[in-house]
Amino acid sequence: MTALLEVEGLEVVYGHVIRAIQGISFSVGEGKIVGLVGLNGAGKTTTVRAISGFLPTENVRITDGRIRFAGQSIARLRPYQAARLGIAFVPERDKVFDTLTVRENLEVALTATTLRGDEPGRCRRYRSIKDILDLFEALARRADQLSVFLSGGERQMLAIGACLLTAPRLLIVDEASLGLAPIMRRQVLDMLAQLNREFGLTVLIVDQDVGGVLSIADHGYILENGRVVFAGSREHLLQHGDVKEFYLGQKEDRERGYRDVKQYRRVRRWH
């Protein structure tokens, strides 16, 4: 598998004292879907902000490790520089411009088409606003309405649609299902899987919904306290006893006591 994105030994420090990311390593293969999952506060958003250039500029810095995209070092790049390389980032919050209509949000994204390069692997299927509105019927019905009135799922669709207009090579979606109803969450995940399947778009999904992400991901990494505690293929993680019990809510036949849980936590901490 050719790695499009490689993160090796990444360390991020807040305020010179708090290590939010503690030596994370993972890779995203070209044309694959990879899940970076874990509970709130695990370090997922900090990791993808370091990749996309959106780390806050004050009191936050990368202190160690490497980030490479298509063989090129991208650690400490600004967001517009990462975008030029084909990295499209859907943030956890502030996904769209509330004071603009759906159509106007997409028009803003079209201005970024000047950032497109000639690199292989870019998703060039969506070149116009009509293409995006054809993809998302819910947005087509509300194309001329202000985005502030969109539902959570519609905002997610609009943000993803805007990214697709930039012909991304890698689409990073932070908290893909945050605040969405189960049906809408499933629709968003299925849509990302379709984009990957039909157009070969490489996708990195960041989310707390371990089961949902692993249902479509080729490979997954589970984070806790700024560390990768479990990693493997979808099949491996879905069959792992600790992942099934502590992340998927599938209990084993026997009841676990305090000693079992304490040992599990010790293993996770030093994985």
pLDDT score of 2 = 76
Q: Are 202 and 32 in contact (CB under 8 A)?
A: yes
pLDDT-above-90 percentage for the chain: 65
The pLDDT tens digits of the residues spanning 193-213 come to 999 999 899 999 999 999 999
Nearest-CA neighbor of 62 among 96, 28, 12, 7? Answer: 12
Q: What is the pLDDT of residue 45?
A: 92
Token digits of residue 148: 């502030």
CB 34 within 8 A of CB 218: yes
pLDDT of 121 > 80? The answer is: no
**pTM as predicted:** 0.88
Task: List C-alpha distances in Å: 65 to 12, 23, 51, 53, 172.
Answer: 9, 7, 12, 15, 20
Provide the pLDDT for residue 250: 83
pLDDT in tens, 154-164: 999 999 999 99
How high is the mean pLDDT of the chain?
A: 87
pLDDT value, residue 270? 43
CATH architecture of structural domain 3-239: 3-Layer(aba) Sandwich (3.40)
Q: Where are the domains of the chain?
A: 3-239
* Separation between Cα atoms, residue 107 and residue 97, nearest integer Å: 11
Q: Is the pLDDT of residue 269 over 50?
A: no
Residue type, 256: R
CA dist 160 and 41 (Å) reads 24
